[in-house]
Structure 1
Amino acid sequence: MKAAVHNAYGAPEVIKIIDVDRPEPKAGEVLVKIHAATVSSGDARLRAFDIPKPYRLIGRLIFGITRPRKPVLGYDFAGTVAALGAGATRFKVGDAVFGSHGFGSHAEYKCVPEKKAITHMPEGMRFEEAAAIPFGGLTARSFWRQGKLEAGHKVLVIGASGAVGSAAVQLAHNAGAHVTAVCSAANAELVSRLGADHVIDYNSEDFTKGSDRYDIIFDTVGAVSFAEGRKALTPDGVFMAAIAGKGDTGAGFKAKFNSKQRLIAGSYPETLEDIEALRDMAAAGDYVAVIDHEYRFDQIVEAHHRVDSKRKRGNVVLSMIPKLAIAA
């Protein structure tokens, strides 16, 4: 099968599409023929080993000291079940599925444990649309849960037009929160359509110097440190950092002793419950995964460049089998 591999850290050009052995499903796994996948900011950071300094040593140990331990990137996928491992019963061959798990989605086939974050696609949805659901949706959903989001909360989402940010805006709006979105003026209409009640253009306004206070601030892009962001929090507010920056851990630890404000940082595992909840919301029209651009699989280097530009809106998607969709 064809797979996009990177055997060194670096610019998008380190990625090459080559022939590799097709995986075989183990007990409890399904083999998915990938029809679409995303190139996420997480994929781009791992390809370049763009890891915050405090975490680089452990990052090398986890992902590979001199070269990537997992050369095929890609967590999120949509496709059809091609084969079943022993004891796998949730799906049948031919089912249209999507989800997020491990590495390996930037290939023609991928094995996924059936008990992980994989589920049936909503009827009538294109594979590209389904593949764009997990990354932002799963991340935002897990962070809002950790932050104990409630109806009536005043929340601020930084990087509101990105994959995680656009998901965070929608989920917070659906939960009954008052949402302020931070993005460029060019993306104001998009985030307003997704449910933002107020939009701040980061080029002309610094929310940390304003008078508004928020119950939760969710920085989805690593733009603000906890020390800076907490200025705009309520006395018992929560600052959530999808990308922890230098000094965040220390500042968060100190805050435990001198205030009721909290820092939540890091990542959380994908769950079957979350992917099924997102599927149901998408099927009902209550959640839309924003797609910035769709690239062919052989354009994966261009897709990485688009992510590296930090100007994408929502998700960058790879079409492994262009223009293929599931009929309603």
Structure 2
Amino acid sequence: MKAMVYTHYGSPDVLQLKEVAKPTPQDNEVLVKVHAASVNAAEWHLLRGKPFLMRLMGFGLLKPKHQILGAALAGWVEAVGKNVTLLQPGDEIFGDLTKCGGGAFAEYVCAREDAFALKPANVTFEQAAAVPLAAVTALQGLRAKGQIQPGQQVLIYGASGGVGTFAVQLAKAFGTRVTAVCSTRNVDMVRSLGADQVIDYTQEDFTKNGQRYDFIFAVNGYHSIFDYKRALNPKGVYVMIGGSMAAMVQAMLLGPVISMTGSQKMGSMGVAKPSQKDLAFMKELLEAGKVVPVIDRRYPLGETAEAIRYLEEGHAKGKVVITVA
């Protein structure tokens, strides 16, 4: 089978399209023919081996432990191991291979059946591949970390990216009033996702306009934590998942201190956890039409390096998808 392989850390240039052995499923695994996979920030961090702490966490100190990237995918089951009970050949599925070593940037991959859920019938494979990492990250940030509640005033900072586009739609599905922050060129797109108000950060600083929010979700935050604090209601919650290194450090170190000394809760989210239950929840929302994946660009498997470069630039509107089959 064909796969995008990297044998050492570096820029996207180290990726090579190679012929490798087609995997065979173990007793508790399924063999999936990959139709599409999405590119996420995790891929370029793993590709470059940065931050270095990732290497110490078991991804390979001097060279990558797993040589095929890709965690979020959609496809169909080609074969199953003898202990697999929930899936069968022919099932259309989508899933997250984060705990299985990745491998989605290939024509076939094997993984445990609990990494997958049945694909919603009303979305394409490309749309389904956009969901497992980005949408679940948004879901866990809003629901588990932020404890989002109907009727709240919610602000999504970085609303036009992969996680942000899902966060806007999920926050609306939870019955909140959503203010979305993005750049000029993305205002109309973000408004089409259902945001009640869209702020162009090149024209207005939301931390200085006097509005207060019950929950701020910083998908791509660059403000000081004290700016976010000023924009929160007295019992508001601030959750950061991405942005500048300075903002991340503030969220991790100062967030817990602020939370202990006042009524506002502030901090970083950390890494989303793969969850079959959350995938099933997203399947329901997709089938109901409450969430529609936004895809910016599609690339063939052989152009995965170009896809990662484009995502690294930080201007993608929604998701970048690799079409494999």
Q: TM-score if structure 1 supplies the norm length?
A: 0.91
Q: How does 1:10-25 map to 2 (within 5 A)?
A: 10-25=10-25
Matched, 1:61 2:56: yes
Q: Which amino acid aligns with 2:197?
A: H
Tell which deviates more after alignment, 123-132 or 287-296: 123-132
Partner of 1:237: 236
Tell which deviates more after alignment, 95-104 or 218-227: 218-227
The 3 A distance-change label for structure 1 pair 238 and 124 is closer
**Separation (CA, whole Å) in 1 of partners of 2:83 and 2:297:** 38
Q: Which amino acid aligns with 2:180?
A: A
C-alpha distance after superposition, 1:239-279 (max 9, x if no partner): 11113712322101211332122224202212111111111
| SS of match in other structure, 2:164 | helix
Matched, 1:6 2:1: no
Tell which deviates more after alignment, 276-285 or 221-230: 221-230
Tell me the CA shift for residue 223 of structure 1.
2.8
Q: Give unmatched runs, 5+ long, in structure 1.
A: 322-328
Tell me the CA shift for residue 17 of structure 1.
1.5
**Separation (CA, whole Å) in 2 of partners of 1:274 and 1:36:** 20
| SS of match in other structure, 1:91 | coil
Tell which deviates more after alignment, 138-147 or 239-248: 239-248
Please, which of 302, 317, 322 is the counterpart of residue 321 of structure 2? 317
Contact 2:248 2:268 in 1 (8 A): no
Identity %: 38
C-alpha distance after superposition, 1:21-62 (max 9, x if no partner): 2222122211111010011122123223443xxxx4x32201
Q: Which amino acid aligns with 1:278?
A: M
**Separation (CA, whole Å) in 2 of partners of 1:144 and 1:19:** 41
Tell which deviates more after alignment, 58-67 or 290-299: 58-67
Partner of 2:216: 217
| SS of match in other structure, 2:143 | helix
| SS of match in other structure, 1:87 | coil
Contact 1:28 1:86 in 2 (8 A): yes
Tell me the CA shift for residue 203 of structure 1.
1.1
Q: How well do the aligned residues superpose, as a CA RMSD in angstroms?
A: 1.6
Q: How does 1:136-147 map to 2 (within 5 A)?
A: 136-146=134-144, 147=146
Contact 1:136 1:168 in 2 (8 A): no
**Separation (CA, whole Å) in 2 of partners of 1:89 and 1:300:** 33
Tell me the CA shift for residue 67 of structure 1.
2.2
Partner of 2:293: 289
Q: Give unmatched runs, 5+ long, in structure 2.
A: none
Q: Which runs of 4+ in 1 moved over 4 A?
A: none
Partner of 1:257: 260
Q: Which amino acid aligns with 1:248?
A: A
The 3 A distance-change label for structure 1 pair 124 and 176 is closer
Q: How many residues align?
A: 315
Tell me the CA shift for residue 9 of structure 1.
2.6
Tell me the CA shift for residue 217 of structure 1.
0.8
| SS of match in other structure, 2:249 | coil
Q: Which amino acid aligns with 1:206?
A: D
Matched, 1:87 2:83: yes
Q: How does 1:1-328 map to 2 (within 5 A)?
A: 1-51=1-51, 56=52, 58-62=53-57, 63-102=59-98, 103-116=102-115, 118-146=116-144, 147-243=146-242, 245-262=248-265, 263-321=267-325
Q: TM-score if structure 2 supplies the norm length?
A: 0.92
Contact 2:300 2:322 in 1 (8 A): yes
| SS of match in other structure, 1:247 | helix
